[in-house]
Structure 1
């Protein structure tokens, strides 16, 4: 991460560790750190989630609003991502540093969700060409300990899984006008299908090797990164490169293959954690205790 200072000895130590497949915290190159997940944490949001990955802490809230479809996409709803990098998360976010990173993250999510294989926007349509649901996905970076793209994507998918969209009925009025009736019953709502929603997988190049889930110190030592958006059925919806370094063709091919396999594992682990959380919440509906659900341990 920009702003973090490492001595040459520390950089060499991290580089040699990557070459030996043994990182500073004891992980291998393709190992993630344990994560903790909690959903339904913001009472006034339609869906929410909080995910902690080591020292990286992300909070996501989803709000629903009725809007007008884009003229070129009359049968689709809308998604809008907004990322707020709190200046308290890291000194690097002070000034415009956080704003630039927030824009980069929101753009990467928009690209990942652009494919119809990732998220079917037609399910958000109320009246073709007239009314649709618009989802505002607000992301707050509370603390940064590296690997923001992956952590944010997992938290966003969990928040969308937790989202309830109110049921709307349309009643014909005089002329061509249609009146919408929004249900006041919170139980009369529909869930979003997030089965195709991808998770971002960052593969960080250090020396001649790539590793996943980089710490802030490892990000400083990286010359380039590849970020893949991978769904649970191994479909890659977007790819982008960060950093000034380059990849050899053979290295790039291996990186894609590794990222695809890791993406499948991430999606499966997140899905299992969400299912486990829902089951335990149903079993303990009357208990006020807050529980966090870990995965990838």
Structure 2
């Protein structure tokens, strides 16, 4: 991913020196301090399981869907989770249409690793019929604008979409108890996913060989960085995953400092996600009430007809 970004943005020597000189004074070209995040905005569509996230100029949409499939033979009682990314040329001139490139695959793997290895989603609750039918959850990430730090923005979009997604409720019946009925939302209220915790990805960019580090890098900072590290943590301080890229090594004391900072940032981002989801759920409940007219409304309509 680092090599792609370096080829995508043409940074002159003067621009590179200006960014590095500013960082020596704890300043960045966009006015932030080294460990400040850009403004994070989380929005939702009218359909459950869709989110839209903006982190500075980075713009990403996420959609969650589910379908019934046969489980893996070694996990007959567990559902599955898959992440797919789409890089639009509209977001970055280096993105190509069609087959996912190396950067798209890497982005999906980083987010998948944080969700899967930390068991954030209860996959056993996705089992409908042991050994025969389970729910397969799919997350589609659409990159609309690349303003830098795609990993963190995509991670927030995926979590927000998962928290608002609801799958249809199923029941078993028939003489042998194996006849499956998938109830539409008009008959039975869909069920939310069981999410144990929120693994938050926090990305650091190392600009120079002596480990000058910034958080939430822009596309210009990514173009000149020597390496990057993404730490995925939850509010309990548990480290869910760490991914290091680039050829420059990082000394242990700097890694520990980054983890301490990431823990604080993860707590802040978790609060923003939960607040946004709570507002969405309140609005959703209000829309649902408005769809069901009261008995007084029915009587009024009857009098008007008479």
Q: What is the aligned residue count?
A: 282
Match of 1:198 in 2: 199
Is 1:158 aligned to 2:160, yes or no? Answer: yes
Q: How far did residue 282 of structure 1 move?
A: 4.7
Q: CA deviation at 1:159?
A: 0.4
2:237 aligned partner? 234
Q: 1:96 to 1:202 in 2, by over 3 A?
A: farther
Structure 1 vs Structure 2 CA RMSD: 2.2
Q: Is the 8 A contact 1:47 1:163 kept in 2?
A: yes
Distance 2:123 2:278 in 1: 24
Query: Are 2:127 and 2:135, in contact at CA under 8 Å, matched by a contact in 1?
Result: yes
Q: Among residues 52, 55, 65, which one is paired with 2:54 in the alignment?
A: 52
1:131 aligned to 2:133? Answer: yes
Under a length normalisation based on structure 2, what TM-score does the superposition of the two structures give? 0.85
Deviation at 1:120, TM superposition (A): 1.6
Partner of 1:32: 37
Q: Please give the secondary structure, in 1, of the residue aligned with 2:94.
A: helix
The answer as to whether partners of 2:121 and 2:193 remain within 8 angstroms in 1 is: no
CA distance in 2, matches of 1:147, 1:126: 38
8 Å contact from structure 2 (residues 122, 196) kept in 1: no
Report 1:43-122 matches (<5 A). Answer: 43=47, 46-94=48-96, 99-122=101-124
Take 2:278 and 2:87, find their aligned partners in 1: how far apart are those partners? Answer: 29
SS in 2 for 1:91: coil
Residue 92 of structure 1 contacts residue 98 of structure 1 at CA under 8 Å; is this kept in 2?
A: no
Structure 1 partner of 2:182:
182
1:12 and 1:98, CA in 2 relative to 1: closer, same or farther beyond 3 A? farther
> In 1, are the aligned partners of 2:235 and 2:263 still within 8 Å (CA)?
no
Which residue of structure 2 lines up, in the alignment, with residue 220 of structure 1? Answer: 223
Deviation at 1:197, TM superposition (A): 2.8
Alignment match, 2:21? 16
Distance 1:213 1:128 in 2: 43
TM-score normalised over the length of structure 1: 0.88
The answer to which structure has the higher strand fraction is: 1
Q: Which residue of 1 aligns with 2:300?
A: none
Question: Residue 274 of structure 1 aligns with which residue?
Answer: 277
Greater displacement, 3-12 / 87-96 = 87-96
Task: Pick closer, same or farther for the CA change 1:230–1:11 going to 2, 3 Å.
Answer: same
CA contact (8 A) 1:167 1:189 kept: yes
- CA shift at 1:245, angstroms? 1.4
Asked whether the 8 Å contact 1:89–1:144 carries over to 2, the reply is yes
- Structure 1 unmatched ranges of 5 or more: 288-297
Q: From the superposition, tell whether residues 180 and 285 of structure 1 become closer, same or farther in structure 2 (CA, over 3 Å).
A: closer
For 1:137 and 1:97, the matched residues in 2 are separated by 17
CA distance in 2, matches of 1:199, 1:161: 14
Higher Cα radius of gyration: 2
Partner Cα separation in structure 2 for residue 206 and residue 189 of structure 1? 47
**How many Å separate the matches in 2 of 1:8 and 1:15?**
11
